Amino acid sequence: MSTSRRPITEFLSQSSNKLIIDVRSPAEYNHAHLPNAVNIPLFSNDERKIVGTAYKQQSREIAIKLGLDFFGPKMKAIVEEVEQLLNTNQTVSKNTRNGQTPTSNSVFLYCWRGGMRSAAVAWLLQLYGFNTVVLKGGYKTYRNFVLDALSLPFSLTILGGYTGSAKTEILQHLKESGECIVDLEGLAVHKGSAFGSLGMPAQPSQEMFENNLALELLKQKSSPVWIEDESQRIGNVNIPTTFWTTMRSSPVYFIDVPFEERLEHIMAGYGAFKKEDLADAIQRISKRLGPLETKTALCHVQENRVKDGFRILLTYYDKQYKKALQNRENLPALITTFTCETIGDGIAARLLKHHPV
């Protein structure tokens, strides 16, 4: 068995559906990592700090000896965890390959720069009998790859529409029809309004959002890619400026759904949440909504007239979206409008009929 180092493009292509291990500390991993990677840290957060301090203030040799003190007692556990993960991967792969059991026991690893941490774990796993592949340049190289990828001139088709037009659901229908889509709100773990975090898990970090976005874009095998029209900011994360610029210059298919239909759709999605959660969301946009509208919307919610409160908010969001939509250069040449009497209204089929290929 052997260890090899691969540049980023080879590493990504060869590691598809394989076990990818991030050997950095839990804090580094939790901040951001390669999508689908699992964390088997060589050092804990405190151990990494101790080794790093020794390296800077004393010597490389002392740091290595400290590292070995931490690494030694963990060797067996690391091997056993990798073994278990590989067995799990093998089972999953068998189920997705019509019963053919894979023979690969390759493990793909990376640390921050592809240096001592990944080399140490790769040596251990190679000694045990695994094929190990280390990412040349480590996670730092992957981040540069992501930033370069997000600057590429992707061919996009923007699905536009006022709040409550069921754009996310339409994207899923398009996906089921074989179209390429990227779900920005899914990647951001946020539904894109002041209420977008309700019922959702925690959002990823900005860096992790970018990592996931780049991977999803590069996975698409054909173009154009359907993507929902969004503000640059989705909750606590931002669409990278280079990619946002591409979105703003791409053709827009605008879904025009009546106000009352959209209001009912919003009620179905958010109407059952607690009054306190709805009130907190309203307060978050109070400065933009204005004192009178904020007070009125809050009163409606507290008095169980949630729909009336949402009516105020939807009017506000319609104004904001219209302003953002029109703030495009050469909008008449970019936009195609589809009128819908009801949510859905066969819109996915209509979009496909007119979709340029």
Task: Identify the three-state secondary structure at position 133.
Answer: strand
Of 89, 117, 124, the C-alpha closest to 28 is 117
Q: What are all long-range contacts of 285-291, with beta carbons under 8 Å and residues at least 24 apart?
A: 285/194, 285/313, 285/316, 288/316, 288/320, 289/313, 289/316
Answer yes or no: are the C-beta atoms of 51 and 43 closer than 8 Å. yes
* Active-site residue, 111 included: yes
CB count, 10 Å around CB of 30? 13
d(CA 71, CA 22): 15
Of the candidates 111, 180, 299, 340, the residue annotated as catalytic is 111
* Sheet-wide strand order for 225-228: 181-182, 225-228, 156-161, 252-256, 335-339
d(CA 305, CA 271): 10
DSSP H or E run through 354: helix 347-354
Who's near 108: CB < 8 A, 6+ residues apart?
11, 14, 15, 18, 19, 20, 21, 132, 133, 134, 135
Q: Which residue has the tokens 């009497």?
A: 341
Q: How is residue 337 annotated by DSSP?
A: E
Task: Identify the three-state secondary structure at position 335.
Answer: strand
Q: Which two tokens stand for residue 349?
A: 């089929």
Answer yes or no: are the C-beta atoms of 41 and 24 closer than 8 Å. yes
d(CA 111, CA 178): 37
Answer yes or no: are the C-beta atoms of 67 and 121 closer than 8 Å. no
Across the chain, the runs of DSSP E, i.e. the strands, are 3-6, 19-22, 38-39, 106-110, 131-135, 156-161, 181-182, 225-228, 233-234, 237-238, 252-256, 335-339
- By annotation, the residues acting in catalysis are 111
